[in-house]
Structure 1
Amino acid sequence: MRRWQRPYSLDLATGTAVLGLVGVAGFATFLVIMFVHGEMPTPFAFFVGVWLPGAVAATVRQAMLGVYVSDGGIRSRSFWRTTTVPWGSVSDIRSGTSTMAGLDMGRVAIIIERTDGVSIQTPLQRGYIFRPFEFNPPLGRLATWPEHYDEILATLRAHHRDAQRRRQTTPTGQLAHPAAATRPTSPSARASGTRQTRDALTADQRRDINALTRQHQRGALTDAEFAAELAKIRGID
Structure 2
Amino acid sequence: MPLPFLTADRVFDEAADDRALPHDDPDRWRRPYRPGPWRVAAAALLLLLASYVLFAAVIIAFTGKPSSATGFFGAGLLVILCALRLLRVGVWVSGRGLRRVAFLRTTTVPWEQVVAVRTAQQPVRWFGLPRTVQGQALTLVRRGRTAEGPVPLLTTHDADFLARPEAFDRAADTVEAWAEEHRLDV
CA contact 1:98–1:108 (8 Å) conserved in 2: yes
Greater relative CO, 1 or 2 (CA 8 Å, sep 6+): 2
Does residue 30 (structure 1) correspond to residue 61 (structure 2)? The answer is no
Deviates most, 50-59 or 62-71: 50-59
Does residue 71 (structure 1) correspond to residue 95 (structure 2)? The answer is yes
Q: State which of 10, 14, 24 in structure 1 corresponds to 2:35.
A: 10
In the other structure, the counterpart of 2:123 is: 97
Q: Name the CA distance, whole Å, in 2 between partners of 1:102 and 1:8.
A: 22
Deviates most, 9-18 or 75-84: 9-18
Over 3 Å counting, the alpha-carbon distance change for 1:26 and 1:46 in structure 2 is closer
Which amino acid in structure 2 is aligned with residue 84 of structure 1? T
Aligned residues: 153
Q: Name the CA distance, whole Å, in 1 between partners of 2:90 and 2:32.
A: 10
Does residue 58 (structure 1) correspond to residue 82 (structure 2)? The answer is yes
Over 3 Å counting, the alpha-carbon distance change for 1:46 and 1:108 in structure 2 is farther
Alignment of 1:155-174 (within 5 A): 155-167=174-186
TM-score normalized by the length of structure 2: 0.65
CA contact 2:99–2:109 (8 Å) conserved in 1: yes
In the other structure, the counterpart of 1:149 is: 168
Structure 1 residue 15: Cα displacement: 2.4
Unaligned runs of 5+ in 1: 128-136, 168-237
After superposition, the C-alpha distances for 1:109-146 in whole angstroms (9 at most, x for unaligned) are 32211122243233x3213xxxxxxxxx5xxx544311
Structure 1 residue 24: Cα displacement: 4.2
Structure 1 residue 74: Cα displacement: 0.3
CA contact 2:47–2:79 (8 Å) conserved in 1: no
After superposition, the C-alpha distances for 1:61-106 in whole angstroms (9 at most, x for unaligned) are 2111100001010011112321111111111222343259995611
Over 3 Å counting, the alpha-carbon distance change for 1:58 and 1:102 in structure 2 is closer
Which amino acid in structure 2 is aligned with residue 105 of structure 1? T
Structure 1 residue 47: Cα displacement: 6.8
**Structure of larger gyration radius:** 1
Alignment of 1:202-221 (within 5 A): none
Higher helix share: 1
